[in-house]
Amino acid sequence: MFSERVQSLLSQMSFAEKVGQLRQCGPSLVGAFEVPFGELLDMMFDGRISEAEFGRLMATSSQDYREDEIRAGLIGSFNGVGNRETALRLQKLAVEESPHRIPLLFGYDIIHGFRTVTPIPLAESCAWDQELWQRTACMAACEGRSAGIHLTFAPMVDVAKDARWGRVSEGAGEDTLLQALHGAAKVRGFQGDSLNRPDTLAACVKHFAAYGAPEAGKDYNRVDMSPQRLYEEYLPPYEACIEAGARAIMPAFNEINGVPCSSSPRLLRSLLREEWGFTGVTVSDANAIAELVNHGVAADKAAAAYLALQAGMDIDMTSESYHEELVGLAVTDPVTARLLDEAAGRVLALKEELGLFANPYLVPEQSEADILLSAENRALAREAAQKSIVLLKNDDGILPLAKGARVALLGELGADRGEMTGAWAIGGRGDDCVSLLDAMQEEEPDVRYCSGIMEEVQDLASIDEAIQETDVVILALGEMKNQSGEAASRADITLPALQIERFRYVKAQGKKVVVVLFNGRPLAIPELAAEADAIVEAWHLGVEAGHALADVLFGRVNPSAKLTTTFPSSTGQCPIYYAHTSTGRPGGRSKFTSKYLDTPLEPLYCFGHGLSYTTYRYANLQAAQQGNDILVSVDIENTGDRDGEEIVQVYVRQLTAARTRPVKKLADFTKLFIAAGVQKRCNFVIPAEKLGYYDEELNFVVEAGEYRIFAGTSVENVLATDIELQI
Ligand code: GLC
């Protein structure tokens, strides 16, 4: 199971040193704070202190890395050391002074870029572009390794169908297939063809499992669903990342059907290791082992440590449960001692795979300064941002802006560089970002700008002054970055009344209004959908946000992105998603159908929606069975006057089955370039396996019978044809 070196080390190490390999610490800050660091973080997140004040306090604090415990071999890894100098200094202590010279492993949250922050994953998923997803991960890995990091706590592949949940921003949206392909591409990008290189990172896929399905969209809340649904809709992306070679996985904070993921042998041993054959390392989420006490499945930290180790949890991230309790347990319990060997062995094996025993100081030859935020990396960030921008509405072709158009920009989000990094860019810096105002001023130095949209201002004279003598107003609306991400669920995902009031005020001045929406989740924006002249979904696009937006607004780039998450008409519709089942009363004129009295049944913008500056026409959809595959082909013509890239989607519905099936399920997609006036035929091969589902006994079945095949430009705008599948 383990190499000779690992077996030899295990035979020499004490229990305390083995437990040390399972102990992951964060840099604890020792500073001039009056309050504990955690409280300080809360104060920053809820706005009691500014980010600048928080940064000042950080700058005046020192980091405590428990160096004596490193020397004693009692720490195996760190989370959050983000610079080469510190990492190499601590590595030297471990390699030259600890009893068995075992190197440290450095982990970090590199979710969407390290220093070169790229679009949040939800945004980049809208590119439907596996090659792009892999390239940005590869770039992030190169930057992370240059800073001495070995492991990233990414990709996050939690299928999320409830926009109230703030962490929908961190993954690839509501669809199982997209999450799986997005996650696998990220694993390939992070890990490259070997971990024993100075430009790759071990990937830690997360959060295993179904963290994206918390009841009521409330973060960390219980997850309760049928095994069939878990297997069909939520587990495949984690499995796809394991198949792509992910060397670590992070169990989720939540329980599933009453069992916390952090203490579930069924999840962490039976499914992960026995069924899927995973041989890598399991890394707990922050403090999650100790939180088994809060879950009510462990009486105290000792019980929590025992439960987690028995379940198959290897590394304890920052809870100190293993450090405080496992040695005592191992001394008295041979099973714990054996499990301790297995877990420590897996951590040592990962370090070996990363080449850390051979060269614990393995970093790129170039300096961090030469690698981080390079022109090449910025260019890739700009490309990724361009391909993540979704054109939701464009009445009368108001976009792209005409040459010489007199434009004003309103709204703090249009000028705030820091807001462009999104909620999970720990290694990023606001000052590195190009805001939309920066980019517009590069186009037109005296472009008019005005704030007063997100905050109450006394009078509107500044807005009046900014928009007079303009043809078009670009209005930046949406969410601050800390309104999405972790612990940022919202019970109301509409825009604040002030933003709607400002929007309507500007419209009332007779101006054309292009809304640029900055947000980390779908928002319920019926007022904008009805009254804005155009809506550009700008998410949080990273360091090149402004340039990419200007490229689209001024027509240098033809937008091609499409939504990977449904936009609701109202919060009350959540969770709302396209792959729903029919119900026995799917709708129609009767009163007695599945609907609401006070909100529409349909979403505001459906899955797969995204406009272009050109138009496409679909025709001649055909489907035929060939062996165990369904061959699908369809014509797409670019009927406009601009070249463009179109994301062609194929959905399937099993018309009759032993269990209810989704009315549509994404089966395949492709993005293709089509020049103006050109028609292309697109061909797909859909393995019948993709049509399968789990029956009452949890057997995976693929059934003969009638299937409806759809192909088109969004889940609602499709052609359809039926096929009889023979098995
Ligand atoms: C957080 C997140 C997880 C992250 C971890 C380490 O609580 O849940 O996604 O990787 O802590 O920072």
Tens of pLDDT, residues 88-147:
999 999 999 999 999 999 999 999 999 999 999 999 999 999 999 999 999 999 999 999
Q: How many CA atoms lie within 13 A of 276 on its CB side?
A: 26
List for the chain the helix, strand, coil content (%; round to 5): 35, 20, 45
**Residue 516: which residues within 8 A CB-CB, separation 6 or more?**
411, 413, 414, 436, 474, 475, 476, 477, 536, 538, 549, 553
**Closest residue by CA, ligand 1 atom 11:** 286
User: Whole-angstrom Cα distance, residue 186 to residue 384?
Assistant: 14
pTM value is 0.97
- For residue 65, report the distance from its CA to the centre of ligand 1, in Å: 19
Paired tokens of 494 = 């509409």
What phi-psi label fits residue 287: left (phi over 0), alpha (psi between -120 and 50 degrees) or beta? left
- For residue 207, report the distance from its CA to the centre of ligand 1, in Å: 9
Nearest CA-CA partner of 118 in 101, 143, 82, 90: 143
Which of 151, 261, 289, 486 to mutate to test ligand 1, by most ligand atoms within 8 A of the CB atom? Answer: 486
Yes or no: say if 525 and 390 are a contact pair by the CB < 8 Å rule.
Answer: no
Q: How many CA atoms lie within 13 A of 678 on its CB side?
A: 13
Residue 645 per-residue DSSP state: E
**Cα end-to-end distance, the chain, whole Å:** 41
- Residue 704 pLDDT: 97
- For residue 588, report the distance from its CA to the centre of ligand 1, in Å: 45
- Residue 332 pLDDT: 94
- Residue 722 pLDDT: 98
Model confidence pLDDT, tens digit, residues 471-512: 999 999 999 999 999 999 999 999 999 999 999 999 999 999
- For residue 423, report the distance from its CA to the centre of ligand 1, in Å: 12
Model confidence pLDDT, tens digit, residues 243-295: 999 999 999 999 999 999 999 999 999 999 999 999 999 999 999 999 999 99
Which of 25, 45, 105, 153 to mutate to test ligand 1, by most ligand atoms within 8 A of the CB atom? Answer: 153
Q: Is 285 a catalytic residue?
A: yes
Yes or no: say if 222 and 254 are a contact pair by the CB < 8 Å rule.
Answer: yes
Nearest CA-CA partner of 105 in 150, 39, 148, 138: 150
Segment 44-57 mean pLDDT = 80
Q: How many residues does the chain have?
A: 727
- For residue 26, report the distance from its CA to the centre of ligand 1, in Å: 11
The three-state secondary structure class of 269 is: helix
User: Whole-angstrom Cα distance, residue 393 to residue 610?
Assistant: 8
**Residue 8: which residues within 8 A CB-CB, separation 6 or more?**
none
User: Whole-angstrom Cα distance, residue 187 to residue 716?
Assistant: 31
- For residue 285, report the distance from its CA to the centre of ligand 1, in Å: 6
Paired tokens of 349 = 């094996």
Paired tokens of 289 = 């082992």
Which of 205, 285, 426 to mutate to test ligand 1, by most ligand atoms within 8 A of the CB atom? Answer: 285
Q: Which atom of ligand 1 is nearest to the CA of 207?
A: 9
**Closest residue by CA, ligand 1 atom 7:** 286
Paired tokens of 726 = 């023979």
Yes or no: say if 246 and 194 are a contact pair by the CB < 8 Å rule.
Answer: no
Supply φ then ψ for residue 312, to 5 degrees: 115, 20
Segments of 178-230 assigned E as strands: 202-208
Q: Which atom of ligand 1 is nearest to the CA of 253?
A: 8
Segment 5-25 mean pLDDT = 98
Beta sheet of 534-537, edge-to-edge order: 390-394, 534-537, 512-518, 472-478, 407-410, 448-450
- For residue 135, report the distance from its CA to the centre of ligand 1, in Å: 23
Which of 157, 250, 282 to mutate to test ligand 1, by most ligand atoms within 8 A of the CB atom? Answer: 250
**Closest residue by CA, ligand 1 atom 12:** 109
**Closest residue by CA, ligand 1 atom 10:** 153
- For residue 38, report the distance from its CA to the centre of ligand 1, in Å: 14
- Residue 31 pLDDT: 67
Paired tokens of 192 = 């490259």
**Residue 682: which residues within 8 A CB-CB, separation 6 or more?**
633, 634, 635, 636, 648, 670, 672, 711
**Residue 269: which residues within 8 A CB-CB, separation 6 or more?**
311, 312
Q: Which atom of ligand 1 is nearest to the CA of 317?
A: 6
Q: Determine which one of 285, 341, 432, 668 is catalytic.
A: 285
**Integer CA distances (angstroms), 290 to 247, 526, 534, in order:** 24, 43, 49
Q: Which residue has the tokens 């379940």?
A: 311
**Integer CA distances (angstroms), 692 to 444, 466, 652, 653, in order:** 55, 58, 11, 11
Q: Which atom of ligand 1 is nearest to the CA of 154?
A: 10
Q: Which atom of ligand 1 is nearest to the CA of 170?
A: 9
- For residue 79, report the distance from its CA to the centre of ligand 1, in Å: 10
Q: Is the peptide bond before 209 cis (omega within 30 degrees of 0)?
A: yes
Yes or no: say if 473 and 414 are a contact pair by the CB < 8 Å rule.
Answer: no
Yes or no: say if 518 and 390 are a contact pair by the CB < 8 Å rule.
Answer: no
**Closest residue by CA, ligand 1 atom 8:** 285
Yes or no: say if 433 and 120 are a contact pair by the CB < 8 Å rule.
Answer: no
Supply φ then ψ for residue 647, to 5 degrees: -95, 105
User: Whole-angstrom Cα distance, residue 527 to residue 506?
Assistant: 14
The dihedral built from the CA positions of residue 51, 53, 56 and 58, taken in this order, carries a sign that is: negative
Nearest CA-CA partner of 431 in 413, 448, 419: 419
- Residue 458 pLDDT: 63
Which of 25, 42, 79, 109 to mutate to test ligand 1, by most ligand atoms within 8 A of the CB atom? Answer: 109
The dihedral built from the CA positions of residue 313, 314, 317 and 322, taken in this order, carries a sign that is: positive
- Residue 55 pLDDT: 78
**Closest residue by CA, ligand 1 atom 6:** 286
User: Whole-angstrom Cα distance, residue 262 to residue 305?
Assistant: 10
- Residue 32 pLDDT: 65
User: Whole-angstrom Cα distance, residue 727 to residue 725?
Assistant: 6
User: Whole-angstrom Cα distance, residue 233 to residue 235?
Assistant: 6
Burial class (CB in 10 A: 0-12, 13-18, 19+), 536: buried
Nearest CA-CA partner of 84 in 427, 432, 354: 427
Model confidence pLDDT, tens digit, residues 653-681: 999 999 999 999 999 999 999 999 999 99
The dihedral built from the CA positions of residue 223, 229, 235 and 237, taken in this order, carries a sign that is: negative
Model confidence pLDDT, tens digit, residues 368-409: 999 999 999 999 999 999 999 999 999 999 999 998 889 999
- Residue 598 pLDDT: 94
User: Whole-angstrom Cα distance, residue 114 to residue 141?
Assistant: 8
Per the DSSP assignment, residues forming a β-bridge with 611 are 391
- Residue 62 pLDDT: 77
User: Whole-angstrom Cα distance, residue 254 to residue 290?
Assistant: 13
Model confidence pLDDT, tens digit, residues 300-315: 999 999 999 999 999 9
**Closest residue by CA, ligand 1 atom 3:** 285
Q: Per-residue confidence at 349, pLDDT binned at 50, 70, 90?
A: very high
Amino acid at 587: G
Ligand 1 pocket: which residues have CB below 6 Å?
79, 109, 153, 206, 285-286, 486
Supply φ then ψ for residue 328, to 5 degrees: -60, -40
Q: Which atom of ligand 1 is nearest to the CA of 206?
A: 9
Print burial letters for 15-34: b (CB count within 10 Å at least 16), e (below 16).
bebbbbbbbbbbbeeeeeee
Yes or no: say if 535 and 529 are a contact pair by the CB < 8 Å rule.
Answer: yes
Q: Which atom of ligand 1 is nearest to the CA of 153?
A: 10
Model confidence pLDDT, tens digit, residues 578-595: 999 999 999 877 889 999
- For residue 320, report the distance from its CA to the centre of ligand 1, in Å: 16
Residue 518 has a CB neighbour count (10 Å cut-off) of 27
- Residue 709 pLDDT: 98
User: Would the pLDDT of 183 be above 90?
Assistant: yes
User: Whole-angstrom Cα distance, residue 259 to residue 209?
Assistant: 11
User: Whole-angstrom Cα distance, residue 502 to residue 676?
Assistant: 38
- For residue 61, report the distance from its CA to the centre of ligand 1, in Å: 23
- Residue 642 pLDDT: 98
Amino acid at 220: Y
What phi-psi label fits residue 44: left (phi over 0), alpha (psi between -120 and 50 degrees) or beta? alpha
Yes or no: say if 567 and 162 are a contact pair by the CB < 8 Å rule.
Answer: no
Yes or no: say if 596 and 576 are a contact pair by the CB < 8 Å rule.
Answer: no
Supply φ then ψ for residue 616, to 5 degrees: -130, 150
User: Whole-angstrom Cα distance, residue 271 to residue 251?
Assistant: 12
